[in-house]
Structure 1
Amino acid sequence: MRPQGKTLEMGKRALPRSSDGDEDRTGDLPDGILHHILGSLPARDAARTCVLARRWRHLWKFATGLRITDREMREPAPMEKLQDFVDHLLLLRGRAPLETCWLNLTRLSSDGDARRVNLWFRHAVLCEVQVLRLDLILNGFQLKLDDLPLASRCLAKLNLSGVHLMHSFPDFSCCPVLEHLDIFFCDLSDAKKITSQSMKCLNIRHCTFSQISRTRISAPNLISLRLENYWHRTPVFEVMPLIVDAFVRVHDRSGDWYSCTSGNADFEECLCEDCDFCHSNTNCVIMQALSQAKNLVLSAHEQEFIFKKELMRCPTFSNLKTLLLINCFCVAFDLHGITSILRHTPVIEKLILEFFFEVTEHDDEVEMKGSCSQMERSSAISKHLKLVIVKCNAIDGRITKILKFLSTFNICFSFE
């Protein structure tokens, strides 16, 4: 047996041997690769590698990723211990550049904890982080991010979950390469405007907007949008000429339908001046901004007001090829609504209607496909329309009504 610490000739070069006789392939890797490997580990595990050997003493300080979490074990670590560790960690690594940073916390309970997390968040920005993720899973306590705009030349993707965004924070005009923004389970009631010239993908899900005023969203270079299951007033989107894919789901928790102060339950004639809740005001909140989309999904859970209001002044969807309507009762069962959409989609190729009612004993998904020949095609619909699909879990009077109505456009259906 060769003495420990010696090397074994293996063809072109000599490789060090570990104490049990195996080759130390990890230790033979370049520093840059080791920095990436350490960046994929939880921060505490990465820091522990400093005891492996002399060469590893400072490698962790230059890890390209930083993963800080209090959920490494079955029970979350106490916030006091985590604070002490993270403060020392950030002090020792200094301003070494970061590619990714993920803050994943569950134990915040005071303003002091919130201030500390805000400091960690801003420190990551100072380290020129490219992908920044802040996930807070809290019980009864919501962290308010500092009311200061982000300023970063490197931040390309930002993911926020479980935080309260204040007035100035969503101004991303000083983040020139930010392209992807995810906002989940956040409070946007104090966010007057979300602004970004560089953003291409925006996802807003399960968030709370203001009950009083509409949040304005200005992202002229947006390509993909997902707005899903929000509370209170639907945000206003400014023009998005480059939009390709859009998904908008209005839940019954949206406050548009009950926010009018006129007391008019039908919202047909409002006595309020400049009321943007009601049908008497025909300004578009979202449809006009989506008018350049190529693929569009609209979904409503028995909440028709915002879609019904905007269909009164339906814009022309000049690029729309595929339209999916999910449980949009206001569109499917309002003949004016469906007619308006068909008349304003001149190049549509595929229309899909999905209706899923309350589960019954004999619940079974049914799919019907419809088409029309060029000779019999109605002049009211696009000559490019090739396929109409209706999906449902039960055929009742409502489905029969929509099938009968579509037949007036010479669209014939067959069961799958």
Structure 2
Amino acid sequence: MTLHAFRGELLSVPRDPLRDSNAVRHEPDGLLVVEDGIVVARGPYADLAERFADVPVEPLSGLIVPGFIDAHVHYPQMDRIASHGEQLLDWLTRHIFPAEKAFADRAHADAVADAFLTELLRNGTTSALVFPTVHEQSVDALFEGALARRMRIVSGKVLMDLGPEGLADTPETARGESEALIARWRGRGRGRLGYAVTPRFALTSSDAQLQVAGDLVAAHPEVLMHTHLAENVRECEAVAARFPDAYHYLDAYDRFGLVTPRSVFAHGVHLSDRACTRLAETGAGIAVCPSSNLFLGSGFFDFGQADAHGVAFGLGTDVGAGTSFSMLHTAGLAYQAALAREYPLDPFRALYLATAGSAALLHIADRVGALEVGQEADFVVLDCTATPLLARRTAGAGLAERLFALQILADDRAITRTYVMGECAWSRSA
């Protein structure tokens, strides 16, 4: 058993500040004590220093927050980030599907997975719910890379039997390969990995395959269900034409058993009140992706509508339609997207959504997201002086003002270090 302590300014938001006025936890001079990767003590340095006087202490300069949790991102799309032109459906056809076909090559998948996981850590992201491709080996490549880095990654083979040539599977291969991957990557000795049944979206799977997805979710109560929902107006129109008897887009999934407490739907930009009511009833949630919604001209998520109905949500970068791996930048865009619908998103709530809120969405809030005792010691050191403008804006500022400035002005340059299970996994100085 090895104890190690970190001293610095600690900040986390373990509960939704919209519903708990005491949700923000802040120690201006704090001590975080870690044993074998797990937080065993946290509090003001003055209160804990004597108790842990014999423990080595590493001083950290900056604002220490929980590791960011990306609730929706596509690792095979990282090399198509910033691809010009087109809204969602045409963008997929023109840029994304051709790029994803290359993941039939395991060596290519390994190389991209390595670059992707490094980029997450460079941006302070320690956990993520990740779309791979339809290829079984794309999941193996991602999980092997995450296992080596001890990161908490949830993913699963994409199901799309109505996809283009080179990306289409079948209901039978979808079931067989998913079952094999679940058996291979779940359980003891598999690190911090989780599985998600992953139909791409309603238009790329036949009814038979959507039923296979529902069967897999029912047969494996520990897995997530991860897909897209109501992202783009043209997409919503196409789904309505495909499922004319459905009450709304969500109902197209619901009839196949895909709307459950463990379902994560990316986007939810164009939701009816009836769909929001159903999401709240079932405990399913939304990964809000403001960067990609803006980039593809999809619209703005309605935070007020979601709160009114009690819908759970977190934040995702949605790279490669999203234009940055930075969850700080994503939180800043969430503020702007919310304000476009006259909803002022508080900076502490934005931090909650990028950490503990996304952890709750992914059903890992007992392990990560808040730096509480008993949780895994994933955290990030933020530099409020990372750029001259940021330093000028935060000089003499209070906590809320510094945090908001980081969300609006910062990017990967503000990440000094990223720690995974109490060990430095990325350092700007290195």
Q: Normalising by structure 2, report the TM-score.
A: 0.27
Using CA pairs below 8 Å that are at least 6 residues apart, which structure has the higher relative contact order?
2
Q: Normalising by structure 1, report the TM-score.
A: 0.28
